[in-house]
Amino acid sequence: GAVVSQHPSRVICKSGTSVKIECRSLDFQATTMFWYRQFPKKSLMLMATSNEGSKATYEQGVEKDKFLINHASLTLSTLTVTSAHPEDSSFYICSARVRIAGGLFTDTQYFGPGTRLTVL
């Protein structure tokens, strides 16, 4: 399958600082990447869809000024948590969309390993 990397894997920061998380597709070009967050023992929550060269599409209830997404190239999307607070502590996971052509296009989604953010 396609490989997606994330950096950093774990970050601890003080309240009020900003944290940038990088998501890279290593062996393919990803025109679309997704950002999720997951609280312990809870389901994945889609935060936003990131399309290369255009503004991200945020899900309802997600503050776009707090969670800045940039998809500057076909292999890199970044999520910046601005002015982080303890309630932003969570597991942030990116994924990349792969389109497989085989008569009919099919879409598959591969996940990065995730970034665990702890805000003190």
**What minimum distance in Å lies between the beta carbon of 49 and another protein?**
6
**For strand 76-81 and strand 90-102, is the pairing parallel, antiparallel, or unpaired?**
unpaired
79 with 35: CB under 8 angstroms? yes
| Nearer to another protein among residue 20 and residue 110 (C-beta) | 110
- Please, what is the minimum distance in Å from the beta carbon of residue 61 to another protein? 16
Amino acid at 45: M
The residue ranges that bind another protein (CB under 8 A) are 1, 31-32, 34, 43-44, 46, 49, 51, 91, 93, 97, 104-114
Nearer to another protein, 49 or 89 (CB): 49
Q: Please, what's the b/e burial string for 95-117 (b: 16 or more CB within 10 A of its CB; e: otherwise)?
A: bbbbeeeeeeeeeeebebebbeb
Shortest Cβ 43–another protein spacing (Å): 4
Instruction: Give the nearer residue to another protein in terms of CB position, either 43 or 60.
Output: 43
| Shortest distance, position 100 Cβ to another protein, whole Å | 9
CA angle, 107 as apex, 105 and 113 as ends, to 5°? 150
